Amino acid sequence: MFLLDPMLATGGTLVAAIDYVFARGARDVTAVCLLAAPEGLEVVQEAVGERVDVHVVVAAVDERLNEKAYIVPGLGDAGDRLYGVV
């Protein structure tokens, strides 16, 4: 199973997606993210553990999450950018 998530911030959505597809019969998962925060990567690692059937590929890892759980410096809201709001 191949998942594409523009930004991996807290990791919660990606962990839920991984659990969802495995519960429905997926045998392996590769998630591709454009940008990630170290905190989100840590959450995914803790949830996935040492399972060799899950791979996360990121184009870049930014500094951190801010108090609103936004990636810093980040790219802005991915949904706004995808749908031309900004």
CATH of domain 2-82: 3.40.50.2020
Tell me the pLDDT band of 75, cut-offs 50, 70 and 90: confident
pLDDT for position 1: 85
Strand partners, 58: 33
Q: What is the pTM of this model?
A: 0.84
19-69 pLDDT, tens digit each: 999 999 999 999 999 999 999 999 999 999 888 799 999 999 999 999 999
pLDDT for position 78: 66
**Under 8 Å between Cβ of 12 and 43:** yes
DSSP state of 26: -
